Amino acid sequence: MIAEYTYKAFGLVISSEIECPELILHGGNADVTIKLGKVSDNLENPLFTGVRFQAKEREFLLTVDGIARYYIVDGNIITIDIYPNANLAEVRLFLLGSAFGALLHQRGVLPFHGSAIKIDSGAIILSGLSGAGKSTLASAFRSKGYKILSDDISAISISENGSPFVQPGYPQVKLWSDSITQLGDNPKKYAKVRAELEKHKVPISSDFYENPLPLTKIFILASSNLGDLKIEQIKGVEKFSLLKTHTYRFNFVSGKEMNESHFKTFEILAKKVDVFKVFRPTGKFCFDELINLILNG
């Protein structure tokens, strides 16, 4: 008999046939089921095919060579077909990343590529392209006593009254070795996300905030060769464009229903959430100055 575990993440109760120690144990009726089983190599008549994935209305197939195939359907079932000798930690890495990103898209929840921080009674999201330093800066906020709701994927849902909320992810931050060192810690204390990468899984337990919060601001991080810290508010068409650009795995979106749902969310965010670009000197991470700039933004 296969054991079942019940967790909570991204505002969802999850029943899983595989143990996910990264997640928080939770009771209640499941919104999402994760099960083990055989998964086909291809979807039938996919609307879109990418490097590792195929997508159509309400169906998504992710293939990670040597790890697993993940079949996501109707926003509530993930079937995992694990390859022989696959590393289970890596199976979970892609499950909690790309596979859950696809599931959130199917549910009409916007997975935003960024880390969410509790500021007063609301949440801000630190976003940016890969390598911009969003997780590092979130960890610097954490060192100042601020709590983290999510890392890498911030799930944005819209309340019945049309207000955007950030749903908590799970109590872990992924950091590169040099970022951990810059933050005054030792990377050797933490397990790697993958054997060949100098990136580590840092548990945050007591510094994790478990309740949804209204989203107030989004900050897009970027480096600049000009050597100065600078912040500028983004408005108009560029604001809408940035929201789309920094959506997690936006290329996973397929079908009219999903596109319409997301563009409605973009419209609400564009109206109700302030968006800023934050520029920092290339190759330099001045944590205190960045934090002060954002808190006063």
253 confidence band (pLDDT: 50, 70, 90): confident
Tens-digit pLDDT profile for residues 195-206 = 899 999 999 989
Q: What percent of the chain has pLDDT over 90?
A: 80
Tens-digit pLDDT profile for residues 2-34 = 668 999 999 999 999 999 999 999 988 999 999
Structure tokens at 67: 């790890």
pLDDT, averaged across the chain: 93
Report how far Cα 140 is from the mean position of its chain's Cα atoms: 18
Residue in the block written with tokens 């990103």: 101
pLDDT above 70 for 223 = yes
For 219, residues 6+ apart whose C-beta sits below 8 A from its C-beta are: 124, 125, 126, 127, 231, 275, 276, 277, 278, 294, 297
Q: What is the 3-state secondary structure (H, E, C) of the chain?
A: CCCCEEEEECCEEEEECCCCCCCEECCCCCCEEEEECCCCCCCCCCCEECCCEEEECCEEEEEECCCEEEEEECCCEEEEEECCCCCHHHHHHHHHHHHHHHHHHHHCCEEEEEEEEEECCEEEEEEECCCCCHHHHHHHHHHCCCCEEECCEEEEEECCCCCEEEECCCCEEEEEHHHHHHCCCCHHHCCECCCCCCEEEEECHHHECCCCEEEEEEEEEEEECCCCCEEEEECHHHHHHHHHHCECCHHHCCCHHHHHHHHHHHHHHHHHCEEEEEEEECCCCCHHHHHHHHHCC
Average pLDDT over residues 46-63: 93
| HSE, side-chain direction, 13 A CA sphere, residue 215 | 34
pLDDT above 60 for 1 = no
Tens-digit pLDDT profile for residues 148-193 = 999 999 999 999 899 999 999 999 999 999 999 999 999 999 999 9
- Which region among 138-142, 241-245, 258-262 has the lowest average model confidence (pLDDT)? 258-262
pLDDT above 90 for 102 = yes
Q: What is the 3-state secondary structure (H, E, C) of 273-295?
A: CEEEEEEEECCCCCHHHHHHHHH
pLDDT of residue 3: 62
Average pLDDT over residues 40-59: 93
Q: What percent of the chain has pLDDT over 70?
A: 98
